[in-house]
């Protein structure tokens, strides 16, 4: 692990920081958040709006969809469509001005007072200017519908393009291989998985001898990287955890394809569903969602065939590892519901046309839907 931890990006190294203490650190956090407000798209917004406005004038589209994060894309679309008759829909992959759960408190930008004070008025102005809002989870749709009762809100779940997924791996990793592919931030904590892996290997020493490992691909916030190192050290699992760092998409998916289990983390993120969930399920890799049962990720994970376990139930997570170790590794669990883009496309088509799914978005025909209603 000591060798592998250096594979984290420079911003995610696990060395202890000697940053300014107390109030000075908080001031630094607020100033930093202000300088990058509204997000990493700052400095790009005006140029992008001018370019988008030119394209709208040239091609005369019927609908413009802005998708974020980065949510500055919505500001671009708002300026680009100003004064035109084109319909504009705001697509939220993640919450913008909230509701933000505890997981975001430690985030350098989203957790700042500056962001929370300024983002809500900006979101309100944007949503009231747009013709509708699209979310990818029902809880977020319901929360926004309650906050903006005069704004139509629709929910279209995430999906996956099977053509961009790798074929089944010919050569899998030795032993019981676990893959986590994604960013470690907020409350996303691999500690429960590390502790469960230790329990599993103690009960099945043959799995340890076979080379079982947890492989981690992706970036990590500094505090999450330190938490991972501490969890691995406390469990004495240095030989069974490998940090691969940032990988190209194809390589990251190959790590998942060669593994017996994919892990998806969504602790304390009640309104979000990580998109990686759909990829591993569509690839036929048994998938463990570590999240609260009633959260968006927990509900969606169960809907599409993943196993959901509470972050605090390490014993149950260990039991999942045992069951998969004893199962036929050639068996690939089927997805009980369609999650491909092909299946979702008709829903999105009706939504963009303003008929069928959310008739109140502005086209004639269909039964009127009360403005502010959240639908799937």
Residues 317 and 169 in one domain: yes
**CATH classification of the domain holding 171:** 3.40.50.2000
Q: How remote is the C-alpha of 369 from its chain's centroid?
A: 29
Q: Would the pLDDT of 366 be above 90?
A: no
3-class SS string, 164-202: HCCCCCCCCCCCCEEEEECCECCCCCCHHHHHHHHHHHH
Residues 109 and 92 in one domain: yes
Rounded to an integer, the average pLDDT of 159-164 is 94
Report the length, in residues, of the chain. 376
Residues 274 and 233 in one domain: yes
Strands (E), 256-317: 261-265, 287-290, 307-309
Domain membership flag for residue 53: yes
Number of structural domains (the chain) is 2
Residues 46 and 107 in one domain: yes
Residues 263 and 181 in one domain: yes
Here the tokens at position 285 are: 């890799």
Q: Which residues contact 75 (CB under 8 A, 6 or more apart)?
A: 38, 45, 49, 122, 126
Domain membership flag for residue 100: yes
Residues 212 and 296 in one domain: yes
Domain membership flag for residue 14: no
Domain membership flag for residue 338: no
Domain membership flag for residue 10: no
| Amino acid 368: pLDDT | 33
- CA dihedral sign, ordered 128, 129, 132, 137: negative
Please give the residue range of the domain that contains residue 60.
38-156+343-375
Residues 266 and 291 in one domain: yes
Q: Would the pLDDT of 22 be above 50?
A: yes
Please report where in the chains the tokens 């892990």 appear, as a residue.
263
Residues 266 and 352 in one domain: no
Residues 188 and 205 in one domain: yes
Q: Would the pLDDT of 109 be above 90?
A: no
Q: Would the pLDDT of 16 be above 50?
A: no
Q: Would the pLDDT of 53 be above 80?
A: yes
Rounded to an integer, the average pLDDT of 45-62 is 94
Domain membership flag for residue 26: no
Residues 293 and 365 in one domain: no
Longest Cα–Cα distance in the chain: 68
Residues 57 and 152 in one domain: yes
Could you read off the pLDDT of 266-298 as tens digits, one per residue?
A: 999 889 999 999 999 999 999 999 999 899 999
> Could you tell me which residue, 140 or 368, shows the higher pLDDT?
140
Q: Would the pLDDT of 38 be above 80?
A: no
Residues 177 and 307 in one domain: yes
Q: Which residues contact 288 (CB under 8 A, 6 or more apart)?
A: 193, 261, 262, 263, 264, 306, 307, 308, 309, 317, 320
Could you read off the pLDDT of 201-257 as tens digits, one per residue?
A: 999 999 999 999 999 999 998 889 999 999 999 999 999 999 999 999 999 999 999
- Rounded to two decimals, the pTM is 0.82
């Amino acid at each position: 692990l000591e060798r592998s931890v250096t594979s984290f990006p420079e911003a995610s190294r696990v060395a202890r920081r000697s940053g300014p203490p107390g109030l000075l650190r908080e001031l630094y956090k607020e100033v930093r958040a202000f300088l990058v407000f509204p997000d990493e798209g700052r400095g790009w917004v005006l140029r992008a709006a001018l370019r988008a406005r030119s394209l709208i004038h040239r091609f005369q589209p019927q609908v413009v969809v802005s998708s974020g994060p980065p949510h500055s894309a919505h500001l671009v679309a708002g300026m680009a469509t100003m004064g035109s008759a084109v319909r504009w829909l705001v697509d939220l992959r993640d919450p913008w001005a909230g509701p933000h759960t505890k997981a975001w408190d430690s985030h350098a930008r989203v957790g700042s007072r500056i962001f929370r004070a300024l983002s809500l008025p900006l979101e309100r102005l944007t949503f009231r200017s747009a013709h509708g809002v699209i979310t990818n989870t029902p809880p977020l749709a319901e929360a926004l519908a309650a906050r903006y009762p005069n704004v139509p809100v629709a929910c279209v779940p995430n999906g996956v393009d099977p053509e961009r997924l790798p074929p089944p791996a010919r050569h899998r990793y030795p032993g019981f291989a676990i893959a986590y592919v994604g960013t470690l931030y907020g409350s996303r904590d691999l500690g429960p998985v590390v502790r469960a892996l230790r329990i599993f290997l103690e009960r099945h020493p043959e799995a340890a001898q076979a080379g079982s490992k947890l492989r981690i691909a992706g970036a990590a916030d500094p505090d999450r990287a330190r938490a991972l190192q501490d969890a691995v050290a406390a469990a004495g699992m240095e030989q069974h955890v490998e940090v691969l760092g940032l990988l190209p998409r194809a390589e990251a998916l190959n790590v998942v394809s060669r593994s017996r289990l994919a892990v998806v983390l969504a602790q304390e993120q009640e309104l979000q569903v990580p998109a990686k969930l759909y990829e591993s399920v569509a690839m036929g890799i048994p998938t463990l969602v570590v999240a609260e049962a009633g959260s968006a990720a927990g509900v969606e994970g169960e809907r599409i065939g993943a196993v959901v376990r509470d972050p605090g139930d390490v014993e149950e997570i260990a039991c999942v590892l045992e069951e998969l170790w004893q199962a036929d590794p050639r068996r690939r669990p089927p997805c009980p519901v369609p999650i491909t883009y092909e299946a979702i496309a008709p829903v999105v088509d009706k939504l963009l046309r303003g008929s069928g799914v959310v008739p109140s978005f502005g086209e004639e025909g269909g039964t009127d839907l009360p403005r502010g209603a959240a639908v799937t």
